[in-house]
């Protein structure tokens, strides 16, 4: 069934039940409208509002798939509170299979809080800020690493000073059972959806659940089962939180990736060869990446060594590497 277009002012945010909408966003300078899928599910008892967003970047697929399944399977008659699900936020980017919008070239995750008079990406962001984030108590923005980097499977949130908010963020992030939770920095960019949600006092969780523009089996499972766990943790669904940790892990490892000056970049262009697996614990001085110059076939590769002890959080996935590309991120565990 193709869902009808509904004007923003006609969305029913509050009545018991499950409703699927297509929210129209008019193209810049064309007689056409992008349709943003949005589902509102209101339970039979009052409670928190969980917002689930996928497809903020158009080449990341675990979020859209898990969110679509959640729309299909969530039973409002079993639920307290409200769930707002947007399986694909940047529809033009998603249709093009690209990180940024094919219509205005903008990165949705740098467009917040948005601008009602801006181009289409800014206007979608503004709609989310005004109509969706303003109604939310918990936001989960499901990302993956896209096409250039491989990542640990993790949940994430920004550095938080408020102790109560920090505790709620750790608890909510841990409910996903990913091997890692990553605390990250605002220095890597501004205008993030999560940054805006955090400013509004919302418990806000991001994720990195796959890479390489694929649909990762475990990534989808962590997203889908993790969201069900989050709902149980916050008393929106009955039942206990179940452990989703892989058998190789006895806990979610909390790591801090807050200093972008520690990101290791390629000193020279070439073909990068990873020497350690993602998630590995390395020690300072360990060889971690080799850059090969195929114009000088007899020359040994340039070895990059770890500059600290820690876990390999991200590494370059695409082999072709330019001088200055990030080849690896190593970070320490925090308590």
Residue numbers at the binding site for Zn ion (CB under 5 A): 57, 60, 143
141 forms beta bridges with: 53, 206
**Are the CB atoms for 88 and 37 separated by under 8 Å?**
yes
Cβ of residue 208: shortest distance to Zn ion, in angstroms? Answer: 8
Q: Give the span between the Cα atoms of 324 and 329, in whole angstroms.
A: 13
Residue among 143 and 153 whose Cβ is closer to Zn ion: 143
Cβ of residue 171: shortest distance to Zn ion, in angstroms? Answer: 23
Cβ of residue 270: shortest distance to Zn ion, in angstroms? Answer: 27
**Are the CB atoms for 152 and 225 separated by under 8 Å?**
no
Residue among 40 and 197 whose Cβ is closer to Zn ion: 197
Residue among 51 and 80 whose Cβ is closer to Zn ion: 51
Residue among 60 and 150 whose Cβ is closer to Zn ion: 60
Cβ of residue 149: shortest distance to Zn ion, in angstroms? Answer: 10
Dihedral class, residue 243 (left if φ above 0, else alpha if ψ from -120 to 50, else beta): beta
Cβ of residue 151: shortest distance to Zn ion, in angstroms? Answer: 10
Residue among 142 and 328 whose Cβ is closer to Zn ion: 142
Q: Give the span between the Cα atoms of 258 and 256, in whole angstroms.
A: 6
Q: What is the dihedral of CA 55, 56, 57, 63, to 10 degrees?
A: -40
Residue among 57 and 123 whose Cβ is closer to Zn ion: 57
Residue among 90 and 252 whose Cβ is closer to Zn ion: 90
Question: What residues contact 211, with CB distance under 8 A and at least 6 apart?
Answer: 144, 145, 146, 147, 149, 150, 151, 317
**Are the CB atoms for 227 and 66 separated by under 8 Å?**
yes
**Are the CB atoms for 328 and 314 separated by under 8 Å?**
yes
Cβ of residue 95: shortest distance to Zn ion, in angstroms? Answer: 16
Cβ of residue 61: shortest distance to Zn ion, in angstroms? Answer: 11
Would you call 21 exposed, middle or buried from its count of C-beta atoms within 10 A (0-12, 13-18, 19+)?
buried
Q: How many CB atoms lie within 10 A of CB 75?
A: 10
């Amino acid at each position: 069934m193709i869902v009808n277009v509904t004007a923003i002012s006609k969305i029913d945010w509050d009545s018991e039940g499950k409703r699927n909408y297509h929210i129209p966003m008019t193209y810049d300078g064309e007689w056409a409208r992008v349709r943003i899928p949005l589902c509102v599910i209101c339970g039979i008892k009052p409670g928190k509002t969980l917002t689930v967003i996928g497809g903020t970047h158009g080449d990341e697929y675990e979020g859209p798939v898990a969110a679509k399944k959640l729309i299909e399977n969530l039973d409002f008659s079993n639920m307290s509170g409200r769930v707002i699900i947007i399986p694909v936020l940047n529809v033009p980017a998603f249709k093009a299979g690209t990180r940024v919008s094919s219509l205005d070239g903008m990165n949705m995750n740098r467009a917040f809080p948005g601008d009602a008079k801006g181009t289409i990406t800014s206007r979608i962001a503004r709609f989310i800020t005004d109509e969706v984030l303003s109604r939310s108590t918990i936001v989960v923005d499901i990302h993956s690493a896209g096409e250039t980097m491989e990542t640990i499977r993790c949940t994430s949130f920004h550095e938080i000073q408020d102790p109560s908010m920090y505790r709620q963020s750790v608890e909510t992030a841990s409910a996903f059972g990913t091997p890692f939770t990553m605390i990250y920095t605002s220095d890597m960019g501004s205008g993030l959806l999560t940054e805006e949600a955090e400013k509004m006092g919302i418990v806000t969780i991001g994720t990195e659940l796959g890479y390489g523009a694929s649909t990762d089996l475990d990534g989808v499972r962590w997203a889908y089962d993790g969201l069900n766990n989050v709902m149980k943790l916050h008393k929106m669904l009955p039942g206990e939180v179940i452990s989703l940790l892989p058998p190789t892990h006895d806990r979610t490892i909390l790591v801090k990736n807050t200093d972008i000056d520690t990101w290791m970049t390629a000193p020279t262009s070439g073909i990068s060869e990873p020497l350690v697996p993602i998630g590995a614990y390395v020690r300072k001085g360990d060889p971690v990446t080799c850059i090969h110059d195929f114009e000088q076939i007899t020359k040994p590769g340039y070895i990059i060594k770890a500059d600290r002890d820690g876990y390999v959080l991200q590494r370059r996935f695409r082999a072709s590497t330019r001088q200055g590309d990030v080849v690896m991120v190593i970070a320490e565990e925090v308590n």
